A and B are shown apart, each in its own frame.
Chain A
């Protein structure tokens, strides 16, 4: 698909993301101005406060944005996931340039002019409003301009906490290696930054009193554009639909296709039963877990092995039953979170060879392949090479010695295998391209890999609040086989189809 075709097909969604992006930036800058300018004024009056306050604002700006989002999620009122958290973080980032420029602007007002104002008999409030602020306005607007351009950039990260914006395309594009998504997201964000910079630059020039005045026409035009932008943003903001939170379920997902797909399945089934659903998909890192425990999410799909090692911090073990039971027990005790019945498939490492090779050599298990290994080249992702349940233990367990081991990008290994660049890879067991590239998964006959059974994690209080949840999760127990999951992933990643459509179709076929 060419970029132009992509734009035509996704025009309305792109506009929606641009809108979200603008609203996030606009509202956060507005709040930052309301806080920052008065703070700056106070700092010009109380010299002792100046360096501590500017110091704190400075530190704020050095915190990496993902870390700041992670820190905010468990906090009440200002935290959680979604727009509010993103706004808090954006405001914190925007404060420094605005406060600093307010202070600089006011302190740089010509002392002769200030003295004249006092000597004319102005009160200190009149000096501030009629002389200092108007004369400092150019410098203050410069600060707002800098803050806005930074905010347009940082807002792309807001997609990680489910606040939307152009970051949604950027993250999705990175994940799916889809240059169209990446380009659409990044290009739009860049254009937004340039537009904001230009418009505020025009506003800024209105306040330079030392230069010759410009024609009134340019001034009016710039003001009109700025006003339209402001009003437009506010209208968009007010026009957002805000469903009531009565019997509402917030469904989350991690930031990859399969997780979002499993979340969409539950979401559509709940909506079918009249439950209103808030989708908080594509959350990065451990955010879904933290949000679930904090109560801003009701449910998200997870893998037992991930819960066992990454959340509960146990060393990997290989018995699926034991892992499931222990995860269920500890989640109930520690987090008041229930674990659903397994969905019927695992997403673990799959040791893959070409199907034609497997048939020719009659290979079924990894042990079968050990004799072939010295002739083979292997290709592994960086993740597999480094993690506790990865390559070192794997080669030792099966006594494998390859002719060559190449470390490469995981998503490229599938192509490398089918095009005979390598002869064995460690992929994901539910990868959609396994059937389409005719790859064969060798059975883990020595049970080296820990189990990664797909389950839903759901808050206990949500189960009692919304009885339909229980029924939906019951229906999904053992409902998805590994082959089915591969096919669904392929529909989305391979055929670039809309996940909602794919899920709808699948639910229909299943009779749910």
Chain B
């Protein structure tokens, strides 16, 4: 059996006056999409940043491919991990092609191979390379920018994707279609993904497992079906919003 891709061992992360994450234990299996669900400030984004070493634990250990993140060369580690943030975090002064081809360029791919990869990735996320490659991010809609963000994260074919509220700033219709497409894509490519959201509906659609976080702690970690059936009070609170929303729409 293959080893887990990411493991948190008793991880605590604290700032001088507050503890953001306390004693977190978590395993991300290869090929799964794990969703971290929780309200703002619960520590879910911090958890994500501990994986690609934007942050390092105050105590405990985060392992990627069985090696502690502090033992990795941070540059090498990050180039093996795709990262998608709200609004895509695209570079406004780069064309779409250059944004998507960023990590291949950093890795020193030759131009022909990188260009080919950029076209492939744009097609993959449903953007016509001939129309979009030479445009700038400001010329695209929010949904298109988000697609570019996903294409950029996938460009160097990393084994792991981290997504921080990737669809949060989109209108509901665009969000729904992007969520659906991403779910298909993740399954098709067999990627391992960790996605952070405060939207329980999104968690139910995308997650193979859902981790519910509250005040720096992981309350439960279940499949969507078992999450729906959980009688944990926090989980129930989320599920009730789902019903209200469901009734309204």
Pairing of A with B: yes
Contact check, B78 vs A126: say whether CB atoms are below 8 A apart: no
Given known contacts A126-B106, A135-B92, A210-B138, A118 and B86 CB-to-CB distance under 8 angstroms: no
Which residues of chain A are within 8 angstroms of B121 by Cβ–Cβ distance?
none
Closest to B48 in A: A119
Q: Is B89's CB under 8 angstroms from A121's CB? A: no
Q: Measured between alpha carbons, how far is A12 from B151 in the docked complex, in Å?
A: 62
> Is A210's CB under 8 angstroms from B92's CB?
yes
Determine whether B102 belongs to the interface, using a CB cutoff of 8 Å to chain A: yes
Mark contacts of A415-438 with chain B using CB atoms, 8 A cut-off: 1 yes-contact digit, 0 otherwise.
000000000000000000000000
A116 to B54, CA, bound (A): 10
A211 to B91, CA, bound (A): 14
* B93 with A121: CB separation less than 8 A: no
**Which residue in B52, B81, B87, B91 is a CB contact (below 8 Å) of A117?**
B91
Neighbouring B residues of A112 by C-beta, 8 Å: 85-87, 89
Residues from 39 to 74 in B contacting A, C-beta threshold 8 Å: 52, 54
Judging by beta carbons under 8 Å apart, are A211 and B79 in contact?
no
Q: Are A209 and B85 in contact (CB under 8 A)?
A: no
Task: Determine whether A115 belongs to the interface, using a CB cutoff of 8 Å to chain B.
Answer: yes
How far, in Å, is A124 (CB) from chain B's closest CB? Answer: 10
**What's the Cα separation between A373 and B102 when bound, in Å?**
92
- Chain B contributes a number of interface residues (CB within 8 A of A) equal to 25
The reply to whether the CB of B83 lies closer than 8 angstroms to some CB of chain A is yes
How many angstroms from the CA of A472 to the CA of B54 in the assembled complex?
A: 78
Q: Which residues of A contact B89 (CB under 8 A)?
A: 112-113, 115-116
Whether B106 and A120, one on each chain, are in contact in the complex, defined by CB atoms closer than 8 angstroms, is yes
* Chain A residue at minimal CB-CB distance from B87: A112
Q: Does B238 contact A (CB under 8 A)?
A: no
Interface membership of B103, Cβ < 8 A: yes
Given the interface pairs A119-B54, A120-B79, A120-B83, the reply to whether A213 lies near B106 with Cβ below 8 Å is no
Kindly state whether residue B76 has any CB partner on chain A within 8 Å.
yes
Partner of B78, one of A118, A135, A211, A212: A118
**B136 close to chain A: CB less than 8 A:** yes
Nearest CB on B from A56, distance (A): 32
- A405 cross-chain contacts in B, Cβ below 8 A: none
Q: Give A421 to B36 CA distance when docked, in angstroms.
A: 96
A113 and B91 form a contact (CB under 8 A): yes
Q: Per a CB cutoff under 8 Å, which of B81, B106, B138 touches A212?
A: B138
Q: How large is the interface on A (under 10, 10 to 19, 20 to 34, 35 or more residues)?
A: 20 to 34
A250 to B113, CA, bound (A): 66
- What is the minimal beta-carbon distance from A154 to any residue of chain B, in angstroms? 33
- With A and B bound together, what is the CA distance between A210 and B138 in angstroms? 6
* Assembly CA distance A511 to B175 (angstroms): 98
* Residues on B with beta carbons closer than 8 Å to the beta carbon of A134: 93
Q: Is B75 an interface residue (CB 8 A)?
A: yes
Contact with B along A121-138 (1 / 0, CB 8 A): 111001000110011000
Are A121 and B136 CB-contacts (below 8 A) given A113-B89, A115-B89, A210-B92? no
Most buried by A among B76, B83, B92, B138: B92
**What residues of chain A lie closer than 8 Å to B81, measured between beta carbons?**
119
Instruction: State whether A121 touches B138 (Cβ < 8 A).
Output: no
Residues of chain B contacted by A118 (CB below 8 angstroms): 54, 78
In the assembled complex, how far is the CB of residue B1 from the closest CB belonging to chain A, in whole angstroms? Answer: 29
Closest to B75 in A: A121
Query: How far is the CB of A48 from the nearest CB of chain B, in Å?
Result: 18
Could you tell me which A residues sit within 8 Å of B by CB distance?
112-113, 115-123, 126, 130-131, 134-135, 209-213
What are 26 pairs between A and B in contact, CB < 8 Å?
A: A112-B85, A112-B86, A112-B87, A113-B91, A115-B54, A115-B89, A116-B91, A117-B91, A118-B78, A119-B83, A119-B85, A120-B78, A120-B79, A120-B83, A120-B103, A120-B152, A121-B77, A121-B78, A122-B75, A126-B106, A131-B91, A135-B91, A135-B92, A209-B93, A211-B138, A212-B139
B-side residues, CB < 8 A to A, are: 52, 54, 75-79, 81, 83, 85-87, 89-93, 102-103, 106, 136, 138-139, 152, 162
New A-B pairs, 13, CB < 8 Å, besides A113-B91, A117-B91, A134-B93 = A112-B85, A112-B89, A116-B83, A116-B89, A119-B54, A120-B102, A120-B103, A121-B78, A122-B75, A122-B106, A135-B92, A209-B136, A211-B138
**Which 9 pairs across A and B sit closest by C-beta, in order of nearness?**
A116-B89, A121-B79, A121-B78, A119-B83, A209-B92, A134-B93, A209-B93, A112-B89, A121-B75
